Structures are given as C-alpha cells and as structure tokens.
C-alpha cells in the first residue's frame, strides 16, 4: 500500500517526474517477465512486479499528460474507487448492493436535473461512453419498433440513423453491433468548426425517406472528440420533433459544461433530447470509468428493452420493493458501482468547486490558444470552443515554405516525429491526428485543475525544443 501511495499516487502526479518511461514492446517484455508459471513468486518479487508495473506505466494523472479526454488525479474519487475495490460489489439487486443502488439513483437524478429534465427520467451507469451510446441506439430502436427485440431485424424495414462526420466512432461501432450496419449510418456534413449542419441533416432525412428507409435516430454530439465542437441542439431537436426521430446527445465529453453557468449555453436544447450519454470520468475527473446513460422516458422503456427476467436474480417474491433491483435495465450482468466515485467526490467538493474546475479548464484552453497565436511557428486550426485546442507546430525549416506544394506533405511528418521524441524523453504526452484534408496536427486537451499556465507554456516550449531541427 505504501508503494502504491508513494509511486503510483505521489510520484505519478509530480511534475518533476516523467510522464512515461518509454520501452519498446520487445524491451518491456524482457523487463517484466510476463510468463505465468506453476510456482508462485516471493513477496519481494511481487513487490518488484508492482514497482515495475507502476514505473513503466504511463502516468495519466501527471500534470503533463494531455493525450486523452481524461487526465489528473482526483483524490476523493480515488478513495471511492478503493472502497469499491475492497468491497467487491456488483449492481444487480438492492439486496446485494443497497448503498450503491441508492447512490446511483441519486446521481442519475442530479444529472437529469442538470440536463433540465424537470420531470426526471431513467438511466444507468455503463462501462464507458461507447456503451452508453450503444444503449441509446438500442433504446431508440426498441422505442420505434419494439418487435425487433423478439423478432430481430431480418423481417424489418431498413432502419437508418444520422450523425455528423465529427461524431465519436462508437456510433458506427454500435450500428455494426446492433445489426443496423455502418452503411445505414447516414453521415451529416458539418461546418468548418465541426458542428453538424442542421439543413444537411434535414435533407438527408428526406433523402432517406425517399429511399424507403426508416429514419429513427439522430446522434448529436456535445463536444466532439477531436475539435471539441458542439452541435446546434435546438435546431437539431426541431428537426427530430418534426420527423418523429429519437434525439440522442453524446455529451460524453462536453456534458461537463452543464456544471457551469458560463458555458452551459453550449448545450442549449439538451433538455429536448430523448437520451444523453455523459462521462464524468472525462472533464469532471472521476476515476475511470464513470459514464452515465440517461433517458427522458419514464415508462420503463430501459427495463423493457433490456430485461430478460432471470429468475435466479430478479425474483419477484422478495420482501422489499423490487423496483430497486436495477440490474435488468443493463446489458451487463455484473456491473461496477461507478456512480459512487462521482457521488463521493461531489459530496466532498460541492457543485461550486466542480463548476469552478470546468470554468478553469475552459479558461486554460483559451490561454493556451492565445499563446499559440502569439508564438512563431505555431498555428491554430481554429479557435477552441471546448477545452481541446488543435494546432500545428511548424519547425523553422518549414516556415518559409508556406504555400509551397511540399509544405503540407512535410508538415504531416512533424507531429509523429515530435510525438516519438516526447515519448522517448518522457516529458509530456499530447496526441496527434489528421482530420479530413488536414495533415497531422496536435490536439491538446485541457482537463485537470492541476494544470498550471506554466505547464501549458511548457508544452509549447518543449514542442519547439523537440521539433526545431525537423
């Protein structure tokens, strides 16, 4: 326990330590001695395994880890995680997980309040945002044609769904998994900021109808993965209402803005959604995983859609109100009480502090974008709308080539080269990607209140240090 506290908690979050100690897969295999044998190892060997695991793992809680849509260390949430691990609960029934069942209900209720569902709704915590989006798609389908649950799709008409080209890949994955098919995901054009264009959505719906398909689901994204764009929810909701289509909002990333009076306008109209996915493990820093699926329906659609009424778990002759047995709302059987990690943290910090954190992350993104504008050799893709900041670093050798046919081709190789160097030095982690016809650029993600302006400045300094000779 001391090793964990010292190495995995304190050292991992210490800015003077490395974010990662890079080893290639081949080297790391040798270092770790992965083989599982007949004989057990001694206590001291096991302690060494623990130390090595921590040492060679990436420190996602380090103040200079900006590679994913989560970061930082939230101590209250960590304490809650450890309680969960020690208690080994699983959320099938009230009798097996009384506290966590009630906590989940309380947290879901509060999240629905923030969404603006005054009359409440229903929901469940899932194993990540992809699962939450998948639940939305399944629920919408069940709402639209409940027969599919029993009879499957083979006799059903062609069901189609709509999402913007900027959406998370889980929408397509879910469509594949659910037997809808990726070709029946109609991809709506987005504007230059990455927001879905409502008129394009409506045109596509009309087209789909003319093709004889059944449009039943629109996914709007509140905070896209790469650009951090917020789709215009009010206009999309108008269209969905007009065409009687289920509106799901994937707010896994941007949902945190609902905490902030200053930024919640970005999600204006979210209360009109039929369902929402929202991951407090992202900008709110709850320990992984913590993803809520929320649905406005109050007619037990979630239960009806997923239930199978297993008699060994969900007996109806129990001595308490079995409506507290929420396990049959889930596609999972054993399910961890992820809501508790959010609940304890909220209890400790209050909404006031959570709000401030969100505001600080947005302010820090703004600060970072300003620095980029002021520095030579850095170029913003666009002003950030969320806390993702996308930009190119242009090494001195390329600065005079702007406009030259080779410029973009060469720039494309810069981010991967800098990424390799930063991994090997271990000084920070920032992700890169292409986007449509844009060559490789960096996506800086500002989440953690533990990140200072010095850390932000460091990223730009270090990028220049690592890439100036390219």
Site for its own copies in 439-458 (CB under 8 A): 440, 443
State in angstroms the smallest separation of the CB of 82 from its own copies: 6
Name the one range near its own copies by CB under 8 A: 52-60, 192-200, 368-376, 377-385. Answer: 52-60
Residue 197 is a binding residue for its own copies (CB under 8 A):
no
State in angstroms the smallest separation of the CB of 238 from its own copies: 28
Q: Which two tokens stand for residue 427?
A: 């000084």
Residue 261 is a binding residue for its own copies (CB under 8 A):
no
* Rounded Cα–Cα distance for residues 12 and 463 (Å): 22
Cα 398 → chain centroid: 35
Cross-strand partners of 15: none
Q: Which is nearer to its own copies, 175 or 237 (CB)?
A: 175
Buried b (16+ CB within 10 A) or exposed e, 249-279: bbbbbbbbbbbbeebbebbebbbbbbbbbbb
Residue 380 is a binding residue for its own copies (CB under 8 A):
no
State in angstroms the smallest separation of the CB of 290 from its own copies: 10
Residue 300 is a binding residue for its own copies (CB under 8 A):
no
* Rounded Cα–Cα distance for residues 56 and 285 (Å): 23
State in angstroms the smallest separation of the CB of 260 from its own copies: 13
Residue 53 is a binding residue for its own copies (CB under 8 A):
yes
Q: Which is nearer to its own copies, 81 or 275 (CB)?
A: 81
Name the one range near its own copies by CB under 8 A: 182-190, 241-249, 377-385, 403-411. Answer: 182-190
Under a CB-based contact definition with an 8 Å cutoff, are residues 249 and 273 in contact?
yes
Residue 58 is a binding residue for its own copies (CB under 8 A):
yes
Q: Within 1-40, which residues bind its own copies (CB under 8 A)?
A: 1, 4-5, 8-9, 12, 20, 22-25, 28-29, 32, 34-40
* Residue bearing tokens 């979210």: 270
* Residue bearing tokens 């982690």: 429
Residue 99 is a binding residue for its own copies (CB under 8 A):
yes
Other residues' Cβ atoms within 10 Å of the Cβ of residue 304: 16
**Of the candidates 6, 21, 13, which has an alpha carbon nearest to the alpha carbon of residue 451?**
13
Cross-strand partners of 431: 443
Q: Which is nearer to its own copies, 230 or 442 (CB)?
A: 442
Q: Within 118-177, which residues bind its own copies (CB under 8 A)?
A: 127-131, 134, 138, 141, 148-159, 168-170, 172-177
Q: Is 395 left (phi over 0), alpha (psi -120 to 50) or beta?
A: beta
Residue 382 is a binding residue for its own copies (CB under 8 A):
no
Q: Within 404-423, which residues bind its own copies (CB under 8 A)?
A: 413, 416, 419-420, 423
State in angstroms the smallest separation of the CB of 241 from its own copies: 26
Out of 66, 125, 217, 343, the residue judged to bind its own copies by CB under 8 A: 343
Cross-strand partners of 430: 66
Classify burial at 163, counting beta carbons within 10 Å of its beta carbon; exposed 0-12, middle 13-18, buried 19 or more.
buried
* Rounded Cα–Cα distance for residues 65 and 303 (Å): 39
Out of 207, 300, 433, 453, the residue judged to bind its own copies by CB under 8 A: 433
Under a CB-based contact definition with an 8 Å cutoff, are residues 339 and 108 in contact?
yes
Q: How many helices (H) and strands (E) does the chain have?
A: 15, 12
């Amino acid at each position: 326990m001391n090793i964990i506290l010292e190495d995995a908690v304190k050292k991992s979050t210490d800015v003077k330590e490395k974010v990662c100690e890079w080893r290639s897969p081949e080297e790391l295999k040798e270092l770790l001695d992965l083989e599982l044998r007949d004989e057990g190892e001694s206590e001291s060997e096991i302690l060494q395994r623990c130390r090595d695991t921590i040492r060679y793992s990436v420190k996602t809680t380090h103040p200079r880890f900006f590679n994913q849509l989560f970061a930082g260390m939230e101590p209250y949430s960590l304490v809650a995680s450890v309680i969960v691990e020690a208690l080994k609960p699983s959320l099938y029934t009230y009798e097996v997980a009384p506290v966590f069942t009630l906590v989940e209900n309380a947290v879901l209720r509060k999240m629905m309040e923030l969404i603006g569902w005054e009359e409440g709704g229903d929901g469940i915590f899932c194993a990540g945002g992809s699962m939450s989006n998948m639940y939305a798609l399944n629920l919408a389908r069940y709402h639209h044609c409940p027969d599919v649950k029993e009879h499957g799709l083979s006799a059903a008409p062609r069901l189609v769904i709509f999402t913007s080209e900027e959406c998370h890949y889980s929408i397509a994955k879910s469509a594949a998994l659910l037997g809808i098919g990726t070709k029946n995901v109609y991809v709506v054009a987005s504007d230059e900021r990455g927001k879905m264009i409502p008129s394009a959505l409506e045109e596509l719906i009309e087209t789909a109808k003319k093709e004889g398909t059944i449009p039943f689901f629109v996914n709007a994204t509140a905070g896209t993965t790469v650009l951090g764009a917020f789709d215009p929810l009010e206009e999309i909701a108008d269209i969905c209402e007009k065409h009687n289509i289920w509106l799901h909002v994937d707010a896994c990333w941007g949902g945190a803005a609902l905490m902030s009076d200053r930024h919640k306008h970005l999600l204006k109209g979210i209360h009109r959604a039929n369902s929402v996915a929202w991951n407090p493990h992202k900008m709110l820093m709850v320990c992984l995983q913590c993803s809520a699926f929320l649905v406005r329906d109050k007619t037990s659609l979630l239960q009806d859609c997923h239930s199978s009424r297993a008699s060994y778990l969900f007996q109806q002759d129990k001595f308490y109100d079995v409506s507290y047995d929420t396990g049959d709302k889930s596609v999972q059987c054993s399910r961890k009480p992820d809501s508790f990690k959010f609940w304890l943290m909220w209890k400790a910090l209050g909404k006031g502090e959570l709000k401030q954190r969100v505001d600080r992350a947005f302010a820090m993104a703004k600060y970072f974008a300003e620095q980029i504008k002021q520095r030579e050799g850095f170029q913003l893709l666009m002003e950030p709308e969320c806390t993702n900041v996308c930009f190119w670093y242009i090494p001195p050798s390329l600065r005079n080539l702007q406009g030259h046919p080779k410029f973009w081709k060469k720039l494309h190789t810069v981010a991967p080269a800098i990424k390799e160097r930063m991994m090997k030095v271990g000084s920070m982690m920032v992700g890169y990607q292409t986007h449509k016809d844009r060559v490789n650029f960096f996506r800086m993600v500002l989440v953690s209140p533990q990140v200072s302006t010095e850390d932000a400045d460091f990223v730009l300094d270090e990028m220049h240090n690592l890439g100036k000779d390219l």
